[in-house]
Amino acid sequence: MAPVMEQLSAQVAGKAKIVKAKIDDVTDAASGLGVMALPTFVFFKDGKEMDRQIGTASLDAMKKKLDKITA
């Protein structure tokens, strides 16, 4: 998913921020968010969880989720 996320980050620059966190480094945050499987993508807006993607997804699918949230 790294290449997809890099492409997505470039496409939404200035509109959304993509942040990668290694689960081993942020176990408390992952636990608090209820992350049970990898990869898990959590979409936030103004500090509130808006959507979640568990497992891999295409660039188009991830872009559609972000577009819906940032519209």
Show me where the domains of the chain are located. 2-63
Q: What is d(CA 28, CA 58) in angstroms, rounded to the nearest whole number?
A: 28
Please state, in angstroms and rounded to a whole number, the distance separating the CA atoms of residues 23 and 28: 9
The structure's pTM equals 0.91
Architecture label for domain 2-63: 3-Layer(aba) Sandwich (3.40)
- Residue-level pLDDT, tens digit, the chain, 71 residues: 999 999 999 999 999 999 999 999 999 999 999 999 999 999 999 999 999 999 999 999 999 999 999 98
**CA within 13 Å, CB half, 23:** 11
- For residue 4, what is the DSSP state? H
